[in-house]
């Protein structure tokens, strides 16, 4: 059987090449069905005892996955205009569906708990944007004296602040992070920069297709760049789509 197939391929090369191209195109149509799952939790089955226990602990203690936003201002974030933009940015983030609002940690949403005369004083870290140097200095002092806030919600040198945004579920993190990025691009001052850690459950169709295509290009170029390896590069690039039906059927 193998000998007959070999002879057929040698006797009818154009037919074999045409059939290969057609099959590659057919299998390549499966790109839209690819799901790229980068969540290490899914390495375990949903009913695996360790994962069940882990999920129960997260639920009991209200643990959520986070999108962490870092805002950097080399001129210093503790300026009225800078703090105003940060406050407005935080308010806009709270409007995003899927954000666990009570657990957002930021200058405007987190309480500063102090004690005085045997009484607890609970008030927001920044109830309103301070307008005077005295008010700004008081804000910096409150943060510096609270170990739960110092170097967590604002840097010691006053050039950066953080916003911790818990999300209701991982499959919403991509959308939420994208909306946060749009808010930051719109609200921050010129000269202010941001860093956004994306806690992604990457299942967006555009990302899926792009990643698959990038993989094919990488395979092909890695072989085709060397003289004499073009055939192997073509073979590798064509073989990638042939695996897609099997991969998608396992989902």
Residue 206 pLDDT > 70, yes or no? no
Is residue 46 included in any domain, yes or no?
no
Determine the Cα–Cα distance for residues 71 and 90; give it in Å rounded to an integer: 11
Instruction: Give yes or no: residues 82 and 172 share one domain.
Output: yes
Joined tokens for residue 126: 């920044």
* Token pair for 182: 């749009």
Question: Do 162 and 187 belong to one domain?
Answer: yes
Question: How confident is the prediction for the chain on average, in pLDDT?
Answer: 80
Whether residue 164 is contained in a domain is answered as: yes
The 10s digit of each residue's pLDDT in 112-153 is 988 877 888 888 999 999 999 999 999 999 999 999 899 999
pLDDT at 115: 80
Res 191 pLDDT > 80: yes
Residues 149 and 209 in one domain: no
Residue 85 lies in a domain: yes
Same-domain check for residues 143 and 88: yes
Q: Residue 165's closest CA among 92, 232, 223?
A: 92
- With respect to residue 90, please indicate whether it lies within any of the assigned structural domains: yes
The reply to whether 137 falls in a domain is yes
With b for 16 or more beta-carbon neighbours within 10 A and e for fewer, the 46-79 pattern comes to eeeeeeeeeeeeeeeeeebbbbebebebeeebbb
Tokens linked to 106: 């930021």
pLDDT at 200: 45
185 and 73 assigned to the same domain: yes
My answer on whether 228 and 192 are in the same domain is no
Given 197, 216, 237, the domain boundary residue is 197
Per the CB < 8 A criterion, the answer to whether 63 and 57 are in contact is yes
* Domain that residue 137 falls in: 64-197
Query: What is the value of pTM for the model shown?
Result: 0.65
Number of Cβ atoms within 10 Å of the Cβ of 244: 19
Kindly report, residue by residue over 210-241, the tens digit of the pLDDT: 555 555 555 555 555 555 445 555 555 556 56
Residue 94 in any domain: the answer is yes
> Measured between alpha carbons, how far is residue 164 from residues 36, 40, 103, 127 in Å?
26, 22, 8, 18
Facing residues of 120 across strands? 115
* Any domain includes 28: yes
Residue 250 is predicted with a pLDDT of: 47
Contact 93, 164 (CB under 8 A): no
HSE (side-chain half, CA atoms, 13 Å) at 104: 23
Burial of 100 (0-12, 13-18, 19+ CB in 10 A): middle
Do residue 224 and residue 188 come from a single domain?
Answer: no
Span 65-105, pLDDT tens digits: 889 999 999 999 999 999 999 999 999 999 999 999 999 99
Shared-domain flag, residues 180 and 77: yes
User: What's the structural domain count of the chain?
Assistant: 2
Final residue of a structural domain among 161, 179, 197 = 197
Do 208 and 163 belong to one domain? no
In a domain, 10, yes or no: no
């Amino acid at each position: 059987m193998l000998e007959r197939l070999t002879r057929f391929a040698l006797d009818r090369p154009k037919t074999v090449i045409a059939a290969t191209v057609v099959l590659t195109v057919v299998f390549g149509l499966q790109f839209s069905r690819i799901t790229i799952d980068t969540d290490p939790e899914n390495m375990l089955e949903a009913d695996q005892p360790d994962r069940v226990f882990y999920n129960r602990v997260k639920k009991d203690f209200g643990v959520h996955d986070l999108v962490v936003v870092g805002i950097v201002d080399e001129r210093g974030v503790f300026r009225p205009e800078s703090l105003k933009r940060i406050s407005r940015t935080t308010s806009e983030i709270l409007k995003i569906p899927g954000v666990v609002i009570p657990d957002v940690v930021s200058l405007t949403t987190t309480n500063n708990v102090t004690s005085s005369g045997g009484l607890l004083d609970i008030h927001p870290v920044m109830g309103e944007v301070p307008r005077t140097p005295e008010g700004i200095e008081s804000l910096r002092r409150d943060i510096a004296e609270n170990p739960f806030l110092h170097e967590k919600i604002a840097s010691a040198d006053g050039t950066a602040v953080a916003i911790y945004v818990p999300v209701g579920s991982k499959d919403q993190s991509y959308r939420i992070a994208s909306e946060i990025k749009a808010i930051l691009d719109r609200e921050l001052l010129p000269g202010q920069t941001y860093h956004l850690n994306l806690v992604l459950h990457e299942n967006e169709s555009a990302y899926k297709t792009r990643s698959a295509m990038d993989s094919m290009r990488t395979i092909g170029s890695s072989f085709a760049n060397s003289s004499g390896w073009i055939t192997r590069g073509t073979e590798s690039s064509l073989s990638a789509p042939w695996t897609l039906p099997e991969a998608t059927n396992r989902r």
